[in-house]
Structure 1
Amino acid sequence: MAIVEGLLMQATSTGVLLGAVVLLVVVYLLFAGSFKEEPNEPPGPKPLPLLGNLLELDLDRPHESLCKIAKTYGSVFKVYFGSKKVVVLAGYKTVKQALVNYAEEFGEREINQVFKFAENHGILFSNGENWKEMRRFALSNLRDFGMGKKDSEEKIIEEIQYLKEVFESFEGKPFDTTRPMNYAVSNIISSIVYGSRFEYSDPQFKEMVNRANENVRLGGSASIRVFNMIPWIGPFLKSRRTLLSNGEKNRNQVRELIRGLKETLTPGERRGFVDSFLLRKQSDEDSGLKNSRFNDRNLVTTVINLFVAGTDTTSTTLRWGMLLMAKYPHIQDLVQNEIDKTIEGRQPVVEDRKNLPYTDAVVHEIQRLSNIVPMSLPHTTSCDVHFNGFFIKKGTTVYPLLTSVLRDENEWESPHTFNPQHFLDKQGRFVKKDAFMPFSAGRRICLGESLAKMELFLFFASLMQHFRFTPPPGVSEDQLDLTGVVGITLNPSPHTLCAVKRT
């Protein structure tokens, strides 16, 4: 067992992880079930005993492996992650049909092992009536606090000024954009959730943001994917212990923030989402309502869901945007020329978007190519489903392969290259594309979509207006790596950029 533990502790690549799994065959076979096939199931590659199709999957980049398998088996197919059966949906038409036309059937969330602690609390990893009530309450209150409206625009513009100061402090020298970008975007959702922003130097805020982003990275790592298949190896995995430790520290910090807001709560005056939840909780208690879903655990979990989802996806997309501008300076030229000509030095506002079609197209193309949630979060079927001529049993895990939508060769002229013309007509006007689905679709579509769109445009346009992004000295545009690092989201590989102030 010491040998096995050593291997698992050192597992940093797919090859080593699979080697460790093979060593566990004798023990795990006692628990592994057979690959039970249902009549008229989707096709897929033949699984091996215990391993399933793992030898055909790159656990560091599973979305790429699944796209390759789709070329052989079509837009609806099955694969086995170990002994676990997963149905994969590929291509725009199939994914949209499932998530929109069969929204109820494909609308449940899978709660895998790594997120069991949050099962049926909050929004992201909840189902049934709890999910419906928490999502409805969150959406209603986020809108009340200005999500996608003028109030949010003012908060974003205020935050942009702080971010510009940080970028300027590097005086054109190379720096890692990760933390300042995360802090800036985190402050937008924080101001909506808590009613106020944090200073970037606040150690509590920095720790909370950094831990949340580390959990997003580790939560989709190869070691955790193996843990989800073989849960009893969890105690041997450093990544699992880190996830648990970070999660508990974040929950404790959120509880402290909520406690402070509760002590200063004034009926009739709502500073943010937490106040609204606390007032609703108090109302349910005063009326004697039993089994109210407005309880402490749902509040903490929902706040963490909003904080993480409201930070990582937007900040990651913006970091991809800065990297792509440095890699493709001719596109950066066109964006900056359009902004300079149209805005003439004043602060960009949301209303400018309709007069900045090329900039808007570039923002959309950044979202499309960066492909930051390539496999979405996994779904499960809520009932037996007959879909596209196949039978899918109730409770089956389903991966809507969003990368196959955003890079569908039937929908995009050059799906694997950065091409803003995807969103422009021959006259240079912005055009919407049905296959643009970075926020997913259907019942589980991102509830912060309107806020994210506003943030992306305002942050990007403002940064382009004030800075020229270039590779570090001695690094050419061609050397900038667009491979990405897979976690729950797809992040740029570690890099530095220069943000040179424009005059």
Structure 2
Amino acid sequence: MDLLGTTTIFLLVCISCLLLFTTWRSTSQKQQQPPGPTTLPIVGNILQLNPWNLPESLKKLSKKYGSVFTICLGPQKVVVLYGYDVVKEALIDQGDNFSGRGNLPLTDRLFQGTGIVTSNGETWKQLRRFALTTLRDFGMGRKSIEERIQEEAHFLVERIRNTHERPFNPAQFLVHAVSNIICSIVFGDRFDYEDKKFLTLIDLLDKNDELQKSIQIQEKGNGHSEFTTETLSRTTLDLFLAGTGTTSITLRHGLLILQKYPEIAERMQKEIDCVIGRDRSPCMADRSQMPYTDAVVHEIQRFIDFLPLNVPRSVIKDTKFRDYFIPKDTMIFPMLSSVLHDSKEFPNPEKFDPGHFLNANGTFRKSDYFMPFSAGKRICAGEGLARMEIFIFLTAILQNFTLKPTVHHKDIDISPIVSTLANIPRPYEVSFLPR
């Protein structure tokens, strides 16, 4: 056999070995990936899931496939993490690997991966660092922010007082009050609740594309920068969306729950009267002396399970997780509901019970399972602000008013309107009776 023939055979053998190795590796890795239900072409597992209550569908699948499993939403492969241990292991113990932001069509359309919430890589790192630094410079974590919240709580109380005990839906009042905190940080001042510019700004939160088109800024500087007009304006929008919607909805949930359980509201008011009285504004220093009120605030956030799926993550590189292989860029659902409603940590998790955060002697009980703001590298940047707002606003309202529902408290439905991404409270009206 001549040299050419020998070389050809050698090359064919090498190519064959390479193809066999690649096929074996692909099959091996596929076998090592988390289990899950059989997928159908194009639609994946969509026909096996309830799109109107995806968290419940995933809960059922976890009973069959375990705490780490795979589903396919159309062509999109998603690894679901169900339970405290796996969520903690991923978001905290392997936080760097799981620090990517998963992509959903809705968020892609709204934010296009440019803001602090949806961006990835170096863009996300710089924008998050910039946002946290700027918020601290503007008073985040300092007494000045607390004073702004106290001031806004005073305006909110006076606005409620002007309803003269008439029943009304408090949703807009709460949205305006919480939005004004972000306005005071970003713009340096609050708005009057009837200010047309303020009302327009709130409307624009739901009209992101139009808002972005209205912004004209000259960009200067040499070389590549993550701080473009688009990224900075969308980061500002992220602050408004995250800093307004989540907190105001939590407060709406809270007021509805307290109507359902007037005995809990009464016990909170007794603690408020004992520690704060009626003549001064609540402050964060009071919280350590108010274990029951603190427990109720925590239980509200646990019970409502506002973002059951969490905001989707992704792995930024090929990752070995437990006994499984998760390829780079795979979307991850770290299920917050599986942590917040863990029956071992919170007995009868479907029941609203402040005792979940109280020790036997009545002192406040901390729990590592309390993750309403997520955990790890992508934990909510405004967690500290939101905690202050929820405590001060709710305490100020109960300090000044007794809640009077429009129906008998036993008939109040506190179950949320379930959606794929968030649990929203049912609309209601309530009267605020001055104390």
Same fold at TM > 0.5: yes
Match of 2:350?
416
Match of 1:493?
426
Q: What amino acid sits opposite 1:398 in the alignment?
A: I
Shift in Å at residue 291 of structure 1? 1.9
Structure 1 pair 211–65 and aligned structure 2 pair: CA distance change class (3 A): farther
Give the conservation status (yes or no) of the 8 Å contact 1:111–1:119: no
Q: Select which of 411, 414, 420 maps to 1:478.
A: 411
Q: Secondary structure at the match of 1:188?
A: helix
Q: Select which of 396, 400, 403 maps to 1:462.
A: 396
Q: Secondary structure at the match of 1:39?
A: helix
1:317 aligns with 2:250: yes
1:364 aligns with 2:357: no
**Cα distance in structure 2, aligned partners of 1:145 and 1:322:** 30
Shift in Å at residue 487 of structure 1? 6.1
Q: What amino acid sits opposite 1:369 in the alignment?
A: F
1:398 aligns with 2:332: yes
Give the conservation status (yes or no) of the 8 Å contact 2:53–2:420: no
**Cα distance in structure 1, aligned partners of 2:356 and 2:265:** 16
Q: Select which of 34, 43, 50 maps to 1:51.
A: 43
Superposed counterparts of 1:252-401, under 5 Å:
252=213, 255=215, 285=220, 288-345=221-278, 346-401=280-335
Match of 2:168?
175
Match of 1:146?
139
1:124 aligns with 2:117: yes
**Cα distance in structure 2, aligned partners of 1:446 and 1:89:** 19
Shift in Å at residue 49 of structure 1? 3.5
Q: Secondary structure at the match of 1:307?
A: helix
Q: Select which of 22, 37, 60 maps to 2:52.
A: 60
Shift in Å at residue 100 of structure 1? 0.5
Structure 1 pair 210–37 and aligned structure 2 pair: CA distance change class (3 A): farther
Give the conservation status (yes or no) of the 8 Å contact 1:378–1:400: yes
Structure 1 pair 67–331 and aligned structure 2 pair: CA distance change class (3 A): same
User: Structure 1: which 5+ residue stretches go unaligned?
Assistant: 1-35, 216-245, 260-277
Q: What amino acid sits opposite 1:440 in the alignment?
A: S
Q: Secondary structure at the match of 2:31?
A: coil
Shift in Å at residue 495 of structure 1? 1.7
Give the conservation status (yes or no) of the 8 Å contact 1:326–1:477: no
Structure 1 pair 200–485 and aligned structure 2 pair: CA distance change class (3 A): farther
Match of 2:380?
446
**Cα distance in structure 1, aligned partners of 2:282 and 2:416:** 31
Match of 1:81?
73
**Cα distance in structure 2, aligned partners of 1:116 and 1:450:** 27
User: Structure 2: which 5+ residue stretches go unaligned?
Assistant: 1-27
1:100 aligns with 2:92: yes
Q: Select which of 138, 148, 157 maps to 1:155.
A: 148
Give the conservation status (yes or no) of the 8 Å contact 1:148–1:454: no
Shift in Å at residue 211 of structure 1? 4.7
Kindly, what percent of the aligned residue pairs are identical? 43
**Cα distance in structure 2, aligned partners of 1:372 and 1:349:** 25
Equivalenced residue count is 406
Q: What amino acid sits opposite 1:368 in the alignment?
A: R
Match of 2:9?
none
Superposed counterparts of 1:125-274, under 5 Å:
125-212=118-205, 215=206, 246-252=207-213, 255=215
Shift in Å at residue 313 of structure 1? 0.9
Task: Give every structure 1 segment of 4 or more consecutive aligned residues whose post-TM-superposition deviation is greater than 6 Å.
Answer: none
Match of 2:106?
114
For the pair shown, the structure with the greater C-alpha radius of gyration is 2
**Cα distance in structure 1, aligned partners of 2:277 and 2:402:** 17
**Deviation readout 1:159-192 (Å, 9 max, x if unpaired):** 1111112212222222111111011001101111
Output the TM-score relative to the length of structure 2.
0.89
Output the TM-score relative to the length of structure 1.
0.77
Give the conservation status (yes or no) of the 8 Å contact 2:259–2:409: no
Structure 1 pair 198–250 and aligned structure 2 pair: CA distance change class (3 A): farther
